[in-house]
Amino acid sequence: MSKRNFFRISTTHIILFSFLLVILTGSLLLSLPISTQNREPVAYIDALFTATTATCVTGLVTLPTVTTWSLFGQAVILILIQIGGLGTITVLTGVMVAMHKRIGMKDRQLIQDAFNLNTMSGLVRFVKKVIFGTLLAEGIGALFYMTVFIPEFGTKGIWISIFNSVSAFCNAGIDIIAENSLCNYATNPMINTVTSVLIILGGLGFIVWWDVFRVCKDFKKQKFSCFRRLTLHSKIVLATTMALILFGALLILTLEYNNPLTLGNMSFFDKLQISFFQSVTLRTAGFATVAQENLTTSSSLVCLILMLIGGSPVGTAGGIKTVTFAVLLATAFTTIRNRKEVSLFGRNLAKETLYKTVAVFVTFSFIVFASALLLSMVTNASALDILYETVSATATVGLSRNLTPFLNIPGKLIIIATMYFGRVGPISLAIAFNIKKETVNIIKNPTENITVG
C-alpha cells in the first residue's frame, strides 16, 4: 500500500473525527469556570463526559445538569445537542448554504455518507429541509412546553421550554428542570404528549417525513391507498415503530401494574400514560418519568431489548435501528419457512441489505459486550445495572439504574468511548477502520455447505 493511499482520509473518517472535534471543543468550554453555577471548574473528566453525552445525544450524566451548569454551560450543552442531533456535516453544510458558499462534490459525498443515502441527487435541498423541519418541530414543541413551564418558572420557563424541546427532538434526554428528569411530571398529559411526539418525530428519520408529506399531498385523491404509496423504507419504519411502542407499553403496563415503586399506586389513566411514555423514551430519548432502578427485573429486560433496537435510520435516534430489527426478523422467518428470498411488504430485499444488517448487529453487539465486560472489571455494580448502563450508552438512550453518578474514572472513560462508538454508528466504524481495500478475485473460491445451528 502506498503512503498516499494510507494517509488518504475518507468521508467516513471525516465524519468520525468531526464528532470527536466537537466533543473536545465542548469539553474545553465546559471545563471553564464560567460554565458552572459556583464559578469553580469541574473535573475535566466530567466536562468530557458531559460534552460526549450531549454531542452523542445520549443523556447519561455524572453531574446534575440543572444544579451544576450555569446559563453559559447550559447553552454550550444545548448547542452540542443540536449539533449531535443534526450531525456535524449537516450543520456545516447549513452554514455554507447560509453564507452562499458553493457545495462541491466532496461536500456532497460527505452529506451522502452522513445520512447513509443511496443517491447524490438533491442533497443540498435535502439538508435545507432537514434543518428547517428540525427548527420548526423544536419551535412548536417549545411553544407547547411554555404553557406549563412559564406559569411554573416565570420567564425562566422560556429557556427551559427551548432546551427541553431541542433535547427531546434530538433524543438527547438531558433537561434543566430537576435532578430526577421528568419524574415530577409523570402524570402531566401535556408534558407526556409533547415530549413523546418530539421523540417519535426525531426518531422516525427525516426521509420518512418527506415521504409521508409526499403521500399526504394527494390524500384527497388517494384516501385508501396512502400507506401503499409509501416507500418500502417508510412502511418498515412506521409499522415497526408503532408495533414496538404499543407492544412495549403493554408489556411495561402488565409487568409494573402492581409495583408500588412505579405504577402500583397510580390511577389506570396514569398507568397508561406512564407506560406509554416509558416505551417511547426507550427509543433512545432518555427522559424518565419513573426511576429506572425501581423497575422490576422483568421490565428491565424488556427495556434492554427496546433500547437495543432504538429508533430509525437517518434520524436523531440510536440503536441498531428499527429497519435493522425488521430485516433480521424477516431473514429469520424466511429461513424457518425454507424460502430463498427475504421480503417485506411484497418487496424482496437486496443481499447487500442483508449483509449490512448482519454487520450492524454483530458490531453493535460486540460494542455492548466489550463495554459491559470492561465496566464489570472496574465497578462493583450488579450485572443488570452494568448491562443497563452499557446498552443505554451504546444505543445513546441515556437511561440509567442510578449507576452513572457513581462511576469511577475508568468507568467514565469506558462509557465515554461507548457513547461515541454508539453514536457514530457500528457500520461507520467498520468502514472507517477498514483501510485495506478489498481486492476483486478473478477466480472465485469454491462453495461448500456447512452445518449451522
Residues in Cβ contact with 295 at an 8 Å cutoff, skipping those fewer than 6 apart: 256, 259, 262, 303
pLDDT for residue 2? 46
Rounded Cα–Cα distance for residues 453 and 431 (Å): 29
Rounded Cα–Cα distance for residues 391 and 399 (Å): 9
- pLDDT tens per residue, range 305-361: 999 999 888 778 889 999 999 999 999 999 888 888 999 998 999 888 888 888 889
Quote the cell numbers at residue 181.
Answer: 428528569
Q: Are 201 and 137 in contact (CB under 8 A)?
A: yes
Helix/strand/coil for 343: strand
Q: Taking the model in full, what pTM does it have?
A: 0.89
Helix/strand/coil for 226: coil
Q: Which of 120, 57, 128, 139 is nearest to 95 (CA)?
A: 128
Rounded Cα–Cα distance for residues 201 and 195 (Å): 10
How many Cα atoms within 13 Å fall on the side-chain side of residue 368? 22
Residues in Cβ contact with 333 at an 8 Å cutoff, skipping those fewer than 6 apart: none
Residues in Cβ contact with 145 at an 8 Å cutoff, skipping those fewer than 6 apart: 157, 160, 161, 164, 165, 191, 194
Rounded Cα–Cα distance for residues 214 and 443 (Å): 47
- For 150, 154, 174, 196, 201, the CA distances from 147, given in Å and listed in that order, are 6, 11, 20, 16, 21
What proportions of the chain, in percent to the nearest 5, are helix, strand and coil?
65, 0, 35
Q: Which amino acid is at 266?
A: M
Q: Are 58 and 423 in contact (CB under 8 A)?
A: yes
Q: What DSSP assignment string belongs to 399-425?
A: --SS-GGG--HHHHHHHHHHHHHHHH-
Q: Which amino acid is at 126?
A: F
Q: What is the pLDDT along the chain (453 residues), one digit of tens a residue?
A: 444 444 455 666 777 788 899 999 999 999 999 999 999 999 999 999 999 999 999 999 999 999 999 999 999 999 999 998 887 666 666 666 666 666 666 666 656 655 656 666 666 777 788 888 899 999 999 999 999 999 999 999 999 999 999 999 999 999 999 999 999 999 999 999 999 999 999 988 888 888 888 888 776 666 566 778 888 989 999 999 999 999 999 999 999 999 999 999 999 999 999 999 999 999 888 899 999 999 999 999 999 999 999 988 877 888 999 999 999 999 999 988 888 899 999 899 988 888 888 888 998 999 999 999 999 999 999 999 999 999 999 999 999 999 999 999 999 999 999 999 988 876 565 555 554 455 555 567 787 777 666
Beta-carbon count within 10 A of 278 CB: 29
Q: Are 146 and 222 in contact (CB under 8 A)?
A: no
Q: Are 79 and 167 in contact (CB under 8 A)?
A: no
- Residue 434 sits at φ, ψ, to 5 deg, of -90, 75
Rounded Cα–Cα distance for residues 60 and 424 (Å): 17
Q: Are 275 and 252 in contact (CB under 8 A)?
A: yes
Helix/strand/coil for 42: coil
Give the distance from CA 234 to its chain's centroid.
18
Q: Which amino acid is at 429?
A: L
Buried b (16+ CB within 10 A) or exposed e, 241-277: beebbeebbebbbebbeeeeebbeebeeebbebbbbb
Helix/strand/coil for 69: strand
pLDDT for residue 286? 87
Helix/strand/coil for 344: strand
Residues in Cβ contact with 33 at an 8 Å cutoff, skipping those fewer than 6 apart: 39, 40, 41
Helix/strand/coil for 372: helix
For the chain, the distance separating the N- and C-terminal CA atoms, rounded to the nearest angstrom, is 39
How many Cα atoms within 13 Å fall on the side-chain side of residue 17? 9
- pLDDT tens per residue, range 338-353: 888 999 998 999 888 8
